[in-house]
Structure formats: structure tokens, C-alpha cells
Amino acid sequence: MSAIVEHIRTELSRGELAAVAARVYAGQRLSREDGIRLFESQDLLGIGFLADLARQRACGDDVYFINNAHINHTNVCQNLCDLCAFGKQAGSPEAYTLTLSEIEAKARAAAAAGVTEIHIVGGLNPELPYEYYLDLIRTVRRVAPRACIQAFDAVEIDYIATQAGRPVADVLQELRQVGLDSLPGGGAEIFTPEVRRRLCARKIDGQRWLMVHETAHRLGIPTNATMLYGHLETAADRVDHLLALRELQDRTGGFLAFIPLAFHPANTAFSNLPGTTGVDDLKVLAISRLLLDNFRHIKAFWIMMGPKLAQVALHFGVNDLDGTVREERIFHDAGAATPQYQPAASFLRSIRAAGRIPVERDTLYREIRRYA
């Protein structure tokens, strides 16, 4: 044990996080009270040290990235949530809906670039018929047969099912039959009802979000999980959200990864809020690793936090930096100033500089290439 590590362990054993640290060392599950204590602590380096230990135990020194592309097929949305800068009213000069031909062109370009994942999310557009979604997946599957298709978050799946008058399970089955591989984790926001009512009153509630994911898991469709933080929520709200995900993961094992999403307030009804700080971003990632002991992968979404802070996050419990992305629109409409594309070479340099092993993966975390 290095002198620095020994010093940190000693300091932790004497400080406010001594009891939490003892449970982490012993490999014990943390409680709700432990989670709140961690969020209220100012000992960022101590929290990072514990998260890095948990990361090492869970997945070693491998750090994943993926060669992927995003398609946002429509920004027309009937919900127009206060937290969102992406959704537009039908008829707005900024509203758009991609035709199947336009989606085919984007998917074809992504396939030509060798992507292994096409990530598709959009607004709740009342003009789109049920067949549009099936044809969208069929089109992408036809022109990019080797790519995994991760499409439609739980809010979209619920909306598609409601519009079609079909059970969620039937919709998921039919989407899977035409090529869907996985669901993204968007729309979770924060599960606390009162906060959710103020942020996105017209969106499905947290229990409904969990039900859609549980249904997908029961059908053998893996999904991701998210939490939007840095707006109106308290430490207890964050912990309760994480524990709800942990409880579902205990029952189904269907979550692939957890991705904390930092709220970008620009161009939303909450533009008066300051946004998150780097300390908050690192703390949320680290505490997520510690509370979500049944999630193998904790992802730093570099498109929201920037590639340099995402690299630092590799020492705060993170083992995935997401992907090359290409043309992300949702967070950039809300003020994200990061690039919309990061080449694979940039991931290799960033991960190696952090002392870790870059591993290119597909959506299902199957290894494509290890850069030892």
C-alpha cells in the first residue's frame, strides 16, 4: 500500500465518513442514510477514493468507449417539459421531423463510418403513426445490419404504446422483432413526485418509467438507467432515485449501465439556475458507484461534462466514457458547449493518460478491441 493510500485510509477512518468507509472496505451494501451522508460531505477526495476502490473491485482497470452515432428523429413534442430546450411545438419554425429517407441517409453514413451503435431518441410527436417507429427501426436495421440499435426511451415507449392503444409489452416485442436491441435510459429525470411535477409535469411518473424498464428486462431487452441532477432536487431525492434503480436491478439484472446526467439550464424555464459544478459532477458519479453495487458500468457522459472532466472521473468510480456520438442535439440545444464528435483516438489518449486500459465495446458491452 502506497504512503498516499495509507494516509487517505487513515484520514477516512478518523473523519465523518468513517462508518461508510468501513462498510465499503468490508464490501457491504450502503444504506439510504449512508448515501445522504456522502452527498452532504465535503470530503470529495475521500469519496473518490472509496468509489475508485469499488470500481476496481467491480471491473478492474478496463475503461470502455463505443463508436456510435446519434439520430434525433424529431423535436416536435406534445409535452414541452419546462426542463427541456429540445422539444418544439408543431408548426414552430424550428420544428423538424426526419423522413425515413433522411434517417436512412444518416444510418447509411454511420454504417460507412463503422459505428457499432445507432442511438435514436426524439420528441413525442402526435403526427407520427405507430408504423413510423417500426419502419424507422426496419430502415436502420437494413442499412446498418452490424450496428446495435438503441432506441426510444421509456417515455417514448409509453407514448407510442398509448397512441397505438397497445400494451407496452406488445410494442416492445414488435420493435424487437424488427431490429431493436436495447433501450436508452433517458426520461428518468428524478423520481421524487413533487420535484418531477415542477420539472416535467406532463411526463410519465417515476413508477411508470420503472415499469417500462422492468417490462423490457422481462422480455430480454437490456436497458440503461439515468438520473438528471443539478436542478431542484435534494440529496435525499438523489439517493431515493438511485435506490429505486438498485432495487429494480436486484430483481431483473437488466440494466447495462448507469449514466448521471448534469442538468443544462440554458434555453429552459430554469435558465436562472447556475448549472452543476465539477465537484458536484464528480461527487454524483462517485456516490453512484458506491450505492449502485449491482451495476457493473458507471458512465461519464462526456458530451455533457466535457472530455477533460470525464477523464478525471475515471478516478471517481467511472469505467465508461460513452462514445464518438456524432451530431448530438438534445443537450446542445440546452447549452452544452462540448464538441458533437470525439474520434476514437481521443479516447485512447485520454484513457491511457489516466493509467487505464482502453476497450472498445458494442452496446451490450461485448468487447470489440482491447488496446493493451
The Cα–Cα gap between 62 and 190 comes to: 29
**How many CB atoms sit inside 10 A of residue 279's CB?**
10
| Nearest-angstrom CA–CA distance, 264 and 315 | 24
Instruction: Please give the DSSP secondary-structure letter assigned to residue 268.
Output: S
Any bridge partners for residue 119, and if so which? 70, 150
Which DSSP string do the residues of 165-181 spell out, in sequence order? T--HHHHHHHHHHHT--
Q: Which residue has the cell 459505428?
A: 115
First CA to last CA distance, the chain: 25
Spatial strand order in the sheet of 223-229: 223-229, 255-262, 297-298
Residue 148 counted as an annotated binding residue: no
Can you point out the beta strands (E) in the chain?
Answer: 62-66, 68-71, 117-120, 148-151, 223-229, 255-262, 297-298, 320-323, 357-361, 367-370
- Is residue 328 annotated as involved in ligand binding? no
* Nearest Cα residue to 120 out of 58, 64, 181, 41: 181
Determine how many CB atoms are found less than 10 A away from the CB of residue 146: 9
- The whole-angstrom distance between residue 235's C-alpha and the CA centroid of its chain comes to 19
- Asked if residue 59 belongs to a known ligand binding site, the reply is no
Instruction: Tell how far CA 112 is from the center of its chain.
Output: 26
Cα gap 153→187, rounded to integer Å: 6
Residue 71 bridge partners (DSSP): 120
Judge whether 326 and 332 are in contact, CB under 8 Å: no
Annotated binding site: 77, 81, 84, 189
Annotated binding site for [4Fe-4S] cluster: 77, 81, 84
Annotated binding site for S-adenosyl-L-methionine: 189
